[in-house]
Structure 1
Amino acid sequence: MITADERYYTSLRRNIMAIIITVALMPLLAMMAIAGYQFHTAYRHKVVDHLAALVDRHTMHIDSFLSEKLADISTLAAIKPLEKLQDPAEMEKILAMFQEKHRGVFVDLGLVDERGFQVAYAGPFRLTRAQYGDASWFQESIRQPFTVSDVFLGLRGLPHFIVAVRIESDGRLWVLRSTIDFVAFNRLVEDLRIGKTGQAFVVNAEGQFQTQPHARPGVDPQALLRIVRGETPKEIYSTAVEGLEIMGSSGNIYKMPTSPHGASWFEYTVPETQRRYLVFYQSLKGGRWYLFYLQELEDAFHDLYKARTLTLVVLALSALSVAVTAWALSRRVVQRIIQVDREKEMMNEQVIEAGKLASIGELAAGIAHEINNPVAIMVEEAGWIQDLLEDLERGDALDVEEVRRSLQQIRTQGARCKEITHKLLSFARRTDPTVQQVQLNKLIREVVALVEQRARYAGVTIRTHLTDGLPWVAMSPSEMQQVLLNLINNALDAMEKSGGTLDITTRYEDGRVIVDVADTGEGIPQAILQRIFDPFFTTKPVGKGTGLGLSICYGIIRKLGGDISVNSAVGVGTTFHIYLPPGDGVVETPPAGSQTLSKEDS
């Protein structure tokens, strides 16, 4: 069974561990939280800015590619007469020159009249006299000077796109067109690949792919365009973003800010797979195309997550180290406290013993007088027997009855001395701190019998008012004797000049056993009444009091789970109240009536 002391020390050890762990880990957690947040924010901004700059430069590179190819066709249209462009042989020479200069990016060349018929053609396909009148790129070319078409299959059945320039000559319109190698353009776009999942692709304004992604990410380009245009429903778009305004309660997305490099970005969660992507985009062809760059968040912030995992591991190891240290330190501290408490208990026992010796010293005068009377009688009777023996030697008859009477008197007075010394030795023996069930009234009678002679000598009348049937009290009998003796001796000291009355009362009220020790002495001034239980505080003359008596009483009563208080008035007297918890429900056997002891009793 776990004792109260063991529970106390276990709780103390836990509290010490909690304090050490809290004090050690709180600054560490705060520092790591602040540093982690700063690092997390700075690293995310660094990654985003870096990717935004790459997307922006790649967009400029793609725009430059398209502009350069359009410029080559425009230059050709400006410097070559229409007659030359209508010559297939000349077109073959020009195409060969373009392919050599641009490494095959230009697939073919063609001149188309205003009706949509290709009048001159150079290239690998048989497209002479091909009809483009209904082609969207041709219609657009007739309306504006320069055209870069969307990717389409066309007559050749292969993905490609057209760059075209409108030529006006002799009131007629012509279109000089060239097919751009789709594979080369696709390779140019795919050059933007970072990490394991990073990829770029181009879509037109309708959300149709203009390049072929190297791996389908499962992202609908039309959904991305709806996000860019602020048309995305709430259930499709993930709002866990940085650099994007918070979605409003109506489900509308506010305008996304543009990074310092020109490329905008947001985070996107694919509804089907729940994969989260970091998406950058930039417009091409004056807003008719969009370059998108996608990379999974775990891939884009791989180093950040790795650093965070490493930080958590270090934090866990640090917490474990602190916990082990706190456990060892708290165990050591508690062991030291246990040792100090044991030393304190031993010292308290020594102090109690010293108090008992001091109390015995105060009783010495009364006990000496108590023993002196029977000793004087024994000496007198012994002298009388000696006289009788001298008369016998002179021949007188021996009064046997007188001798017997004297011997009986000596025996009676010797028993009286033995009883007095027995009481004194019983009180003076070493204190036994063992708690047991005690009859409090019986204990009070024993203490009163011990001090009755000193009371007579001091002119004090001791009156006991002991209530019958009190519950037994769990206590150390010798320690309770010490408490009662200290209080009675203090009362006798207060009344030794003029005598008085000492009343000792026991009663049972409010579930507690109460002992009142009241004297009619000088009383204690209110100014010092709050200090009387302090160690080494005394109002007695130097050399007469140690100041430990009431402090010992207070410590003993509190250890028993009780309390002690005092009421006093100068010139009236002092009353000490002792409150003790009852024991196991045992009730005292009703004693004989109360007794009154006075200085006249002998």
Structure 2
Amino acid sequence: MANINPEPGPSTESDFPYFRHLWNNVVVALLAASFLPLIAIGGGMYYYSTSVLKDKTLASLRSEVDSHQKTVDQFLFERIMDLKAISQMQNPVSLTSPGKLEAVFKAIQPAPDSRYFTDLGIIDQYGAHMAYVGPYDLMAKNYSHAQWFKAVMASGVYVSDVFSGFRQVPHFIIAVKRTENGEPWIIRATMDAVYFENLVSKITAGSGGDAFLVNKKGLLQTTPLRAGGLMEPSDIQDPERFDGIRMEETDGKIRVMAWLKGVPWLSVVEMDRDEIYSRLQRVRNVGIFIFLMGAVFIGFTVLLTTNHLVSRLEIKRRNIQLMGHHLRQANKMTLSLQLYKGFFQEINEALVNIDSSAAWIGEQNRKARSLEGSRDEVDENLQQIRDEILRSRETIHQLTSFSLPTAPAVADVDINGMLDRLSELFRRETYYNNIQIHQDFQEPLPSIRNDPSQLQQVFQNLIFNAIDAVEKDGVITLKTKAHGDSVHVIIKDDGPGIAPDIMERIFDPLFTTDYRCLGLGLAICRDILKQMGGEIEVATRPGKGVSFTVTLPVHFQSPSSAKP
């Protein structure tokens, strides 16, 4: 036996496109509501923390450079004071005595295995050495034409730029002039290059940076770690004098500069920007990790929650569809019961005719024994019996085909033909109640792609409502017309119409003004048409009847494309 109450299949994405679309919208909305504050708060905190760390890092670097500048200044000042102390405590005669200068040279060094100075010399007012201790043979050299000699004779204290001099080795000297008995003399010391360069570069030890000195011409006074050598031009040409500390960024590096106070040298510290901001990178990496973990957690929670919610909604939707299916079947069976009266009357008439014909044939059969001329009448009655049997079979077929459910299928539907068949189906009801059905069909009318079973139920409901509204001695008009990509079907009656105060409720489920009806017909019609992408409109005037207009798309619209 065929199953007349089929259960809907399992939920799929195509079964419930509205909830699939809702799932997408909810996920996007929840993710946006979660991520936007997270990004805003996280971005703000990251910006604030990086700004604070950057300011503190640069302030710390400026402080270190300032301390370094003061350290170099202090070192040079102390070496000048060392030479001044020697010149004040000793005279040229004492310093030039055998072994005295060597003893003084050792005494001013910081430790036996370390030294501030490479050599030490006593020079008279004519530029000639009076005494010398050191690794070079300079006793015969005269410095009267040297720039440093002229400078120290003029100013009393002089710290030179790096130069080659007689020894042809880059170095710089500190010289102090002293006047003894009206005769000036000079004590001069050459700074130890290794010790001084270690002092200058100590600020960047282990940091990957570079520290060096340049003079006012932009020539290197110490050896950079990365590029360049002593006395070579640096990329800082003719630096201008400024007070305090200056900072600039160039080529991914941060350069911090400060002028020494005792010597016209510019202290320069260069460090890689990434190295300086390594703590910022750690903060960034931690922030990114936390953000990603939070994003994964939020995304997982949103997807899990939304999927659970939508799954429950789909189950409810499936149950609602199942209930709607049962209600449609109940409505269809209600219509069947209303039509059974006419069907059974016609079947009864056919059976009466068959009975009369059979009785007549029996009578004629008895007479045939004596009369041969009655055979034509017998044949005529036999044919009538066959006709009535065929009519009864057709009536029963119409009844069963209307009552039993059919599987949903999309096919080409001839609207005019369907309405014509329905007119024939209701012929008995209209005949016994003296109701006329007028057909005003557009010819030709384009066929549409849709579910014929569902459409038939819609039109059956509307025609039955029209018959019920007219009751007796009325007219029902069926009209079709095409407009663009849609077909309009108008079902109009000349009954009493619908009261204005209930117009808004006629499509509500279970609303009815007739105790004989369930109040499901129009609600089911509206739901079926909505699933098909169609529409239904009603117009009425009290006492003038009701007109229902059904608009159907020519091209089939799946439930996923129909309005939810």
TM-score computed with the length of structure 2 as normaliser: 0.78
Helix, strand or coil for the counterpart of 2:543?
Answer: coil
Q: Deviations over 1:419-451 (max 9, x none)?
A: 444322221122332222233333222222222
Q: Residues of 1 paired with 2:144 and 2:544: CA distance?
A: 131
Q: Deviations over 1:214-266 (max 9, x none)?
A: 44379998554349549xxxxxxxxxxxxxxxxxxxxxxxx9xx9xxx54322
Matched, 1:52 2:62: yes
Report the Cα offset of residue 67 of structure 1: 0.8
Counterpart of 2:461 in structure 1 is 486
* Aligned residues of 2:406 and 2:453 also touching (Cα < 8 A): yes
Q: Residues of 1 paired with 2:235 and 2:74: CA distance?
A: 25
Helix, strand or coil for the counterpart of 1:524?
Answer: coil
1:486 and 1:181, CA in 2 relative to 1: closer, same or farther beyond 3 A? Answer: same
Which letter does structure 1 place at the counterpart of 2:547? T
Matched, 1:570 2:542: yes
Matched, 1:523 2:534: no
1:223 and 1:101, CA in 2 relative to 1: closer, same or farther beyond 3 A? Answer: closer
Q: Of residues 65, 73, 78 in structure 1, which corresponds to 2:83?
A: 73
Which letter does structure 2 place at the counterpart of 1:567? A
* Aligned residues of 1:88 and 1:121 also touching (Cα < 8 A): no
> In the TM superposition, what are the counterparts of 1:556-567 in structure 2 within 5 Å?
556-567=528-539
* Aligned residues of 1:279 and 1:293 also touching (Cα < 8 A): yes
1:45 and 1:217, CA in 2 relative to 1: closer, same or farther beyond 3 A? Answer: farther
Counterpart of 1:167 in structure 2 is 178
1:53 and 1:158, CA in 2 relative to 1: closer, same or farther beyond 3 A? Answer: same
Q: Deviations over 1:460-480 (max 9, x none)?
A: 322222344333333333322
Counterpart of 1:295 in structure 2 is 271
Counterpart of 1:351 in structure 2 is 327
1:157 and 1:490, CA in 2 relative to 1: closer, same or farther beyond 3 A? Answer: same
Which letter does structure 2 place at the counterpart of 1:455? T
* Aligned residues of 2:220 and 2:234 also touching (Cα < 8 A): no
Helix, strand or coil for the counterpart of 2:271?
Answer: strand
Q: Residues of 2 paired with 1:140 and 1:527: CA distance?
A: 115
* Aligned residues of 1:55 and 1:280 also touching (Cα < 8 A): yes
Matched, 1:197 2:208: yes
Helix, strand or coil for the counterpart of 1:134?
Answer: coil
Report the Cα offset of residue 333 of structure 1: 7.4
Matched, 1:361 2:333: no
> In the TM superposition, what are the counterparts of 1:322-471 in structure 2 within 5 Å?
344-367=320-343, 370=346, 417-471=392-446
User: Greater CA deviation, 349-358 or 78-87?
Assistant: 78-87
Helix, strand or coil for the counterpart of 2:468?
Answer: helix
Helix, strand or coil for the counterpart of 1:568?
Answer: strand
* Aligned residues of 1:195 and 1:299 also touching (Cα < 8 A): no
Q: Deviations over 1:314-364 (max 9, x none)?
A: 766776787788788888877777766655554433222111112223334
Q: Deviations over 1:24-49 (max 9, x none)?
A: 55455445434443444344334333
Q: Residues of 2 paired with 1:483 and 1:218: CA distance?
A: 98
Q: Residues of 1 paired with 2:261 and 2:74: CA distance?
A: 10
User: Greater CA deviation, 178-187 or 7-16?
Assistant: 7-16
Matched, 1:106 2:117: yes
1:483 and 1:96, CA in 2 relative to 1: closer, same or farther beyond 3 A? Answer: closer
Report the Cα offset of residue 517 of structure 1: 0.6
Q: Residues of 2 paired with 1:144 and 1:176: CA distance?
A: 14
TM-score computed with the length of structure 1 as normaliser: 0.74
Helix, strand or coil for the counterpart of 2:208?
Answer: coil
> Any stretches of 5+ residues in structure 2 without a counterpart?
1-11, 557-564
- Indicate the RMSD between aligned Cα atoms, in angstroms: 4.5
Which letter does structure 1 place at the counterpart of 2:123? V
1:343 and 1:163, CA in 2 relative to 1: closer, same or farther beyond 3 A? Answer: same
* Aligned residues of 2:220 and 2:229 also touching (Cα < 8 A): no
* Aligned residues of 1:133 and 1:139 also touching (Cα < 8 A): yes
The share of aligned pairs that are identical, in percent, is 30
Q: Residues of 2 paired with 1:60 and 1:111: CA distance?
A: 29
* Aligned residues of 2:121 and 2:132 also touching (Cα < 8 A): yes
Matched, 1:268 2:250: yes
> Any stretches of 5+ residues in structure 1 without a counterpart?
231-254, 270-275, 585-602
Counterpart of 1:37 in structure 2 is 47
* Aligned residues of 1:522 and 1:570 also touching (Cα < 8 A): yes
Helix, strand or coil for the counterpart of 2:204?
Answer: coil
1:220 and 1:316, CA in 2 relative to 1: closer, same or farther beyond 3 A? Answer: farther
Which letter does structure 1 place at the counterpart of 2:545? G
Equivalent pairs, count: 537
Q: Residues of 2 paired with 1:277 and 1:581: CA distance?
A: 69
> In the TM superposition, what are the counterparts of 1:77-226 in structure 2 within 5 Å?
77-81=87-91, 84-85=94-95, 87=97, 90-99=100-109, 103-128=114-139, 130-195=141-206, 197-216=208-227, 222=233, 224-226=235-237
Counterpart of 1:277 in structure 2 is 253
> In the TM superposition, what are the counterparts of 1:15-26 in structure 2 within 5 Å?
22=32, 25-26=35-36
Q: Of residues 466, 469, 476 in structure 2, which corresponds to 1:502?
A: 476
Report the Cα offset of residue 381 of structure 1: 8.1
Q: Residues of 2 paired with 1:206 and 1:535: CA distance?
A: 97
Q: Residues of 2 paired with 1:422 and 1:124: CA distance?
A: 131
Report the Cα offset of residue 141 of structure 1: 1.3
Q: Residues of 2 paired with 1:7 and 1:451: CA distance?
A: 36
User: Greater CA deviation, 479-488 or 211-220?
Assistant: 211-220
Q: Residues of 2 paired with 1:425 and 1:566: CA distance?
A: 31
Q: Residues of 2 paired with 1:114 and 1:485: CA distance?
A: 133
Report the Cα offset of residue 301 of structure 1: 3.6
Which letter does structure 1 place at the counterpart of 2:531? K
Which letter does structure 1 place at the counterpart of 2:142? Q
